[in-house]
Structure 1
Amino acid sequence: MKIGKEHNMSIELPELLYPYDALEPLISSTTLKTHHGKHHRGYVDKVSALVRNTPVADSSLEKIVQWPIRHAATDKAAVAVFNNAAQAWNHSFYWNSLRPRDQTDSGPRGKLAALIASRFGGYGGFTEAFKAAATSHFGSGWAWLVINRGALEIVTTSNADTPLAQDLVPLLVIDVWEHAYYLDYQERRAAYVAGIVDYLLNWDFAERNFDRLNNRFGAASPTLTVA
């Protein structure tokens, strides 16, 4: 599946929108083959098996992520569904948050650029804050640029947790599980994070997510403010 409807992902391993070697030298083809072809595939296969013969067997991946939350399900089976579905969804979002370094990307534009400048004191302030959040997050998890009740924020989530569980609108994400970078950088997470933030962020994807928020509400769109 090529992610066209990013927030309605089905239960299948998505094709990457670029070759495995497209992010080199910052992320190697070896890492992408292992990360996408083994780790991500593992989550997809697991959640497919877990939801078989359940009420959400034919649902989108997003609905499967939200199903245990909405039903306050805390048993081990429901937790396993959430963890694997959320990891599959987060990974799909991560692949789309990246772009090959040689592709032209002018950074954030328009209203999103203005919000970033207002919130972080400029694009440089944003990049430093995003790097700091991703690098300092304890243990495995994710660093996100999100809209939270109309405010632009950088947040981190641990393990499989996801903005879908917190009523946040994600714009971009960096995966900081060790399997995302250890083959290339060993313990040097900061170097991996810097490479993504400085060269690989897909601002076209962020813009589409940002525009979807406005389109969702139309004239009743919530006022976007400085956090």
Structure 2
Amino acid sequence: HFNHLHFWNWMKPNGGGAAPAALAAKIDEDLGGFDKFKADFIQAGVSQFGSGWAWLAVKDGKLAILKSPNGENPLVHGAKPILGVDVWEHSYYIDYRNRRPDYLKAFIENLVNWEYVEKLYGEASK
């Protein structure tokens, strides 16, 4: 329930683009820049065997890219998820068939609701 409750808020029409300034600075600092974040986030989703999720989370005050099987999320590992993408086939198969990397690229470039991610980042950073 937690994963999908947030999943719908992590997306918006005409989303994607650049992260807000404060979050972008943290991505630069902790993850080596937005392009590296994007590549690593996509790779986390691509390399998640079977069903699961790819995540951007806050752990020990730093951003981290994680992946998890099935319905598990970073909360069970002491991290606070601020962005997640569902990589169960039901999320992408109709539009993308077996092209999970294309689905993940489209998610980052066209759907991410960065304002919601920024809100969760602010809450996770307290």
1:65-119, Cα deviation, whole Å (9 max, x unpaired): xxxxxxxxxxxxxxxxxxxxxxx21111111111112x6x653223321110122
- Mapped to 2, the partners of 1:189 and 1:106 lie a distance apart of 20
2:103 to 171, 192, 198: 192
Taking structure 1 as the reference length, the TM-score comes to 0.52
Taking structure 2 as the reference length, the TM-score comes to 0.91
The letter for the 2-side match of 1:193 is: L
User: Which residue pairs with 2:51 in the alignment?
Assistant: 140
Kindly indicate whether residue 113 of structure 2 is the aligned counterpart of residue 211 of structure 1.
no
- Mapped to 2, the partners of 1:156 and 1:106 lie a distance apart of 22
Identify unmatched segments of 5+ residues in structure 2.
Answer: none
Runs of 4+ displaced beyond 4 Å: none
Kindly indicate whether residue 12 of structure 2 is the aligned counterpart of residue 95 of structure 1.
no
- Mapped to 1, the partners of 2:112 and 2:59 lie a distance apart of 20
Bigger CA radius of gyration: 1
User: Which residue pairs with 1:172 in the alignment?
Assistant: 83
Find the residue that maps to 1:170 and give its secondary structure.
strand
Shift in Å at residue 176 of structure 1? 0.1
Bigger relative contact order, structure 1 or 2, given CA contacts below 8 A and separation 6+? 2
Q: Give matches, 1:1-227, under 5 Å.
A: 88-101=1-14, 107-214=18-125, 217=126
Shift in Å at residue 125 of structure 1? 1.3
Work out whether residues 127 and 198 of structure 1, in 8 Å CA contact, stay in contact via their aligned partners in 2.
no
The letter for the 2-side match of 1:122 is: G
1:152-191, Cα deviation, whole Å (9 max, x unpaired): 1000010011122222111101100000011111111111
Q: Could you say which structure has the higher strand fraction?
A: 2
- Mapped to 1, the partners of 2:95 and 2:112 lie a distance apart of 18
CA-based RMSD of the aligned residues comes to 1.5
Work out whether residues 31 and 64 of structure 2, in 8 Å CA contact, stay in contact via their aligned partners in 1.
no
